[in-house]
Structure 1
Amino acid sequence: MKTLLAHHELAGPVDTLEAQRASRVDKLADKSLGTLVKALFESYAVVDDCERDLLPEGKTPTDRVAMAFSQRMVMAPERLAQARAAVEDLVAMRNQLVHHLIDRFDLWSDDGCAAAARHLEACYERIDQHFGELAGWARSMDEARALMASFTQSDAFRELVVNGIAPDGSFEWPVSGIVGVLRKAEQHLSEGGWTRLDRAREWMASTHPEQTPQKYGCRAWPQVLSESRQFDLEYRVGEDGRKLAWYRARALRSVRGARTERGGRGDKVAKGQP
């Protein structure tokens, strides 16, 4: 149970996650069985749609990479109530064995010892049953962690982390790779707060050639600037009479609600507005 609680959930800046895990192991080391059971059914064994914001706005540093992962055992309310009652019954039985076994049976007589032995055998059967169920939960968590480890080695995970593109193809413009390199180009090439798009394109082609409008369902760079809603875009007439695109980044805003589905022209915002 301590293993389940120590490893099923972590969140925060990536450079603190291992320290968090070690700290949680230490904090759980001396907790009573009753306290562990309460924590188990508050965060691990839960009903469906029991979501917690592990990276709340205002409390999560924005100057470092942060991530969160959570593994849970989701059950229907009736099944969860049964599981909780069974585990709490196990705690009560453990307390009775530790604190009241000698008071309950006359261990100075043969009959009392025989009765105590029968009681212990019955308790063992119940303990073995509950242990098997909890061990199954632990195996499920280990299997999920193994699948997650495999996913982190995949191209899909790299697309998610580097480019902000989820396995289903959706992405959030503010944290997308292409918006990130547009901001980097601006840092190198800005003139009076604005950046010429053609110069930015040349810089990005040489430093981040994998970042293209087509990767994000757009036909051209001006479409990226417009649909991402992360930049201001204007056109100016150059010295040679050509119309040139200039852009500047808007202030960073919340990522929430800016998820987009790829699909070329006519992409739709899946929820909310950025």
Structure 2
Amino acid sequence: MTILDNEDLPTLQREVQRLLGRCMLRLQQYERLIKAMVAHHRFSGPIHDLERSRVAQIDDTARKTLGTLVGDLLGSYVIADEIDPPEEKTTNSPENVNWFAMQMALVLSDAEFIRVESELRSMVLLRNNLVHHFIDQHDLWSSDGCRGAQDALVTAYSCIDRNFGQLRKWAEGMAEMRQVFSKLLQSEEFRDVFVNGIAPDGKVNWDASGIVSALRQAFGALVVDGWAPVAEAGKWIAKRYPEQLPAKYGCHSWRQVVHEAPVLELRHLEIGGQRTACYRVKESTANSR
């Protein structure tokens, strides 16, 4: 019997290797999916630079361990009772900048949340045991040890696969919500409210409007002795942001836009012997940028 066991040992060891490899591959699928969920379930940033904010969050998430990812997911996407608004970054957003924040969440009962939390944290322990401690826990140089390792790996795979299936269902729901958000972000209504600062009733939030943002940029490019010509700013904007026109904001001219915007100051100056409408960004708002 001993001789037979010794002859079977290489075969048993190869089967342990196969089962361990199967577990590791499934774990990698699990980790990739949870990274995607953490990276995409919420983000925030300036409207004009949302893509850069999104890419930065994906890059940051890619470097996190499974334990950190589970911690990020719990209480942020997987939550109990009520959804807390994503205040972390909106409270620190710059003034006079159109800022967008989005968060999706899976709301569970208290009892269900406790169960899910336990399963997620158990996955971290399972992963760490397989990666760091498996050969310490099983004697792979004996037939009995290999058979015990096989049984443990079959059980581990079943657990990983079950949790992966649950995670995939959550991810599918998240993907559906992302499609809804994507359509919203591309809609004209969204651009009017969040990019251009124009409410459905036509009222303009001048401090965070698209046209004032363009005027700020034009001012930085054209300023001389603290002032920039309004007409030249209009030409500068027309080349770069042709959709940003005074008429879109209910104004007849660029001078009217500058006059209406509280963050801008209008003054007529003598330039080349001609009376010229000029503007500047008010100091209090310029310092807050």
The one-letter amino acid paired with 2:37 is: L
The one-letter amino acid paired with 2:127 is: R
1:20 aligned to 2:53?
Answer: yes
What runs of 5+ residues in structure 2 fail to find an aligned partner? 1-33, 213-245, 252-289
Tell me how far apart the structure 2 counterparts of residues 96 and 18 of structure 1 sit (CA, whole Å): 38
Counterpart in the other structure of 2:199: 164
CA RMSD of aligned residues (A): 2.9
Tell me how far apart the structure 2 counterparts of residues 133 and 27 of structure 1 sit (CA, whole Å): 24
Secondary structure (helix, strand or coil) at the match of 1:43 reads coil
State the 1:103 CA deviation: 1.7
Shift of the 129–154 alpha-carbon distance from structure 1 to 2, 3 Å rule, reads: same
Counterpart in the other structure of 1:107: 140
1:177 aligned to 2:202?
Answer: yes
Shift of the 31–158 alpha-carbon distance from structure 1 to 2, 3 Å rule, reads: closer
Do the aligned partners of 1:54 and 1:68 also contact (CA within 8 Å) in 2?
no
* Identity between Structure 1 and Structure 2 (%): 33
Secondary structure (helix, strand or coil) at the match of 1:11 reads strand
Shift of the 177–71 alpha-carbon distance from structure 1 to 2, 3 Å rule, reads: same
Counterpart in the other structure of 1:207: 247
Counterpart in the other structure of 2:183: 150
State the 1:117 CA deviation: 0.9
The one-letter amino acid paired with 2:159 is: R
1:148-195 CA distances to partner (integer Å, 9 max, x unpaired)? 223344565466546434xxxxxxxxxx632458xx9xx9xxxxxxxx
Larger deviation: 71-80 or 8-17? 8-17
Counterpart in the other structure of 1:202: none
Tell me how far apart the structure 2 counterparts of residues 15 and 156 of structure 1 sit (CA, whole Å): 16
Do the aligned partners of 2:90 and 2:101 also contact (CA within 8 Å) in 1?
no
Shift of the 17–62 alpha-carbon distance from structure 1 to 2, 3 Å rule, reads: same
Do the aligned partners of 2:43 and 2:101 also contact (CA within 8 Å) in 1?
yes
Shift of the 27–178 alpha-carbon distance from structure 1 to 2, 3 Å rule, reads: closer
Do the aligned partners of 2:83 and 2:105 also contact (CA within 8 Å) in 1?
no
Count matched residues: 179
Give 1:120's match in structure 2, choosing from 140, 153, 169. 153
Tell me how far apart the structure 1 counterparts of residues 155 and 182 of structure 2 sit (CA, whole Å): 41
1:23-78 CA distances to partner (integer Å, 9 max, x unpaired)? 22222223221111111113211123231325545x32233322111111111121
Do the aligned partners of 2:44 and 2:90 also contact (CA within 8 Å) in 1?
no
Tell me how far apart the structure 1 counterparts of residues 178 and 131 of structure 2 sit (CA, whole Å): 35
Shift of the 76–159 alpha-carbon distance from structure 1 to 2, 3 Å rule, reads: farther
Secondary structure (helix, strand or coil) at the match of 1:125 reads helix
Tell me how far apart the structure 1 counterparts of residues 182 and 58 of structure 2 sit (CA, whole Å): 21
1:40 aligned to 2:73?
Answer: yes
1:68 aligned to 2:106?
Answer: no
Counterpart in the other structure of 2:35: 2
The one-letter amino acid paired with 1:50 is: I
Counterpart in the other structure of 1:51: 84
What runs of 5+ residues in structure 1 fail to find an aligned partner? 166-175, 188-205, 212-274
Do the aligned partners of 2:204 and 2:249 also contact (CA within 8 Å) in 1?
no
Give 2:167's match in structure 1, choosing from 114, 131, 134. 134
State the 1:130 CA deviation: 0.2
Do the aligned partners of 1:8 and 1:141 also contact (CA within 8 Å) in 2?
yes
What TM-score, normalized to structure 2?
A: 0.54
Do the aligned partners of 2:80 and 2:110 also contact (CA within 8 Å) in 1?
yes
The one-letter amino acid paired with 1:72 is: A
Tell me how far apart the structure 2 counterparts of residues 20 and 41 of structure 1 sit (CA, whole Å): 22
Q: Return the structure number with greater helix share.
A: 2
Tell me how far apart the structure 2 counterparts of residues 56 and 93 of structure 1 sit (CA, whole Å): 37
Shift of the 114–135 alpha-carbon distance from structure 1 to 2, 3 Å rule, reads: same
